[in-house]
Structure 1
């Protein structure tokens, strides 16, 4: 059986800035400087490549939205699950390795 995750670590991962998570994972990311948010001030658009797959993500703090898949979420675990198409347990393992 795998190692459980302490709630304090989950809280920390929920609040991690999405851009920091991308950096820790070693994902290629490039900000689209021409993007101007319509609704949420402070939102930025990034072109991201994770594991050979390209994404267009809107990010603000720990929240992200994949414009192509029309799906989003919040927190490091959600982001890792989305980018790599993996389950919670695998995402935790990947985040631990990236820390």
Structure 2
């Protein structure tokens, strides 16, 4: 049995397009960054890609990874995941 995330269940139950979001490409949740002032390391994308290829959701929203690395999208597209910059607590300061 497949285990869906919230976007996957939403799409399955409603038939409507869905966007997945939440620590995309990172190994920790946002609350850790916000409340504990911790960073996050980059993580493997295989599970995310498999879910996307199974049409569990239609789009992927990214935020923290882009704060740390504005070139994130281009690097992902080009397969240069070894060049991704990890998210640090300093990236949150860019918002203020």
Global fold match (TM > 0.5): no
Between Structure 1 and Structure 2, which shows a larger proportion of strand residues?
Answer: 1
User: Shorter-chain TM-score: which interval?
Assistant: under 0.3
Between Structure 1 and Structure 2, which shows a larger proportion of helix residues?
Answer: 2
Question: Which TM-score applies when normalising by structure 1?
Answer: 0.25
Question: Which TM-score applies when normalising by structure 2?
Answer: 0.26
Structure with greater Cα Rg: 2
Larger RCO (CA under 8 A, 6+ residues apart): 2
